[in-house]
Copies of this chain bind each other. A is one copy, B any other.
């Protein structure tokens, strides 16, 4: 099966244990994947959701995940292409971009029946419906996202759009989150360059908070919170990192992480699939510029998380603004930000790096082809205390 997506083609296969795998390619010839030659028993994840009545949100449980592989040696990397004698998760001798279901998922279509309604409302359980997928950006084990060329990044975006749309149509899925964790210091268990896609059967606490803020703002002012925020940051300029015809990246005025940038299309769109052709055409260069700045910030790799915030599938779509949030855990080259009592216990963040100083550092970390216009850079000089 091959589905046309914006610039690329997709081929679908199945792994031995029944999981789906999708190959994305820029080639015009149809992609033929080898079949999975491993002997893997069928996946039997035990996923469960429980509702936290104090925070009003769901927690995902997957006891089977305790056994997942942890920092394998490079020659045993399960995300590298397969070769004779070394069979990994991808049964192909090479690939461009590949997506497959996570063998150790936090969410899965386990087919459990709904628990009976006489369960006390205070303690609600639900099967862990949903899907966790892995996306490998390249078959090169040692690359990073920032190393990819623009054509490859475009293919990655095609894959994220394809998966977001298809997962969003699955029964019970409320929200799709595409993200990347990078760095052993923050617990990444596979060093092969990859991201993840979570299809949640609920709207997350973070997204519900943003929707509630946007709703309250509209009631108070009649305006759209995201639009006004992007305008205010663009006009202020002191925290802008990248500014192009279609995109703007800035360190938010109240950033929670030491180095944090939010990337918005200038014209609001609810999700990646809704980006305009012009927005989508410019996105690869913008992303590579932004990731490159983070990669150069400390002269060595810094652990980061990047996540695409998209509108939920069913609610809040009209006012939501699709955007990327990218942030480091590094506060200096050698010191990490940890979530301690105030953050982990009270959701109250303390940040040692002022956002204007973070923005200045990210502007200074531009490569030769940085996308900040010099006029903007001049206007956006950090304030004295930065």
Chain A interfacial positions (CB closer than 8 Å to B): 46, 48, 50-63, 65-66, 70, 106, 120, 122-123, 177, 179-181, 186-188, 196, 198, 200, 202, 204-207, 209-210, 212-213, 216-217, 225, 228-229, 232, 236, 252-256, 305, 307, 309, 325, 327, 331-332, 335-342, 344-355, 357, 385
Contact = CB atoms under 8 A, between A and B. Distances in A.
A205 to B, nearest CB: 4
- Chief secondary structure at chain A's binding surface: mixed
Contacts of A53: 213, 217, 225, 229, 254
B205 A50 contact: no
A122 B217 CA distance: 10
A335 B59 contact: no
B55 A213 contact: yes
Contacts of A339: 186, 339, 344
B348 A205 contact: yes
A122 B236 CA distance: 12
A232 B120 contact: yes
A60 B348 contact: yes
Contact of A254 (B51, B106, B200, B352): B51
Contact of A346 (B52, B206, B340, B385): B206
B253 A50 contact: yes
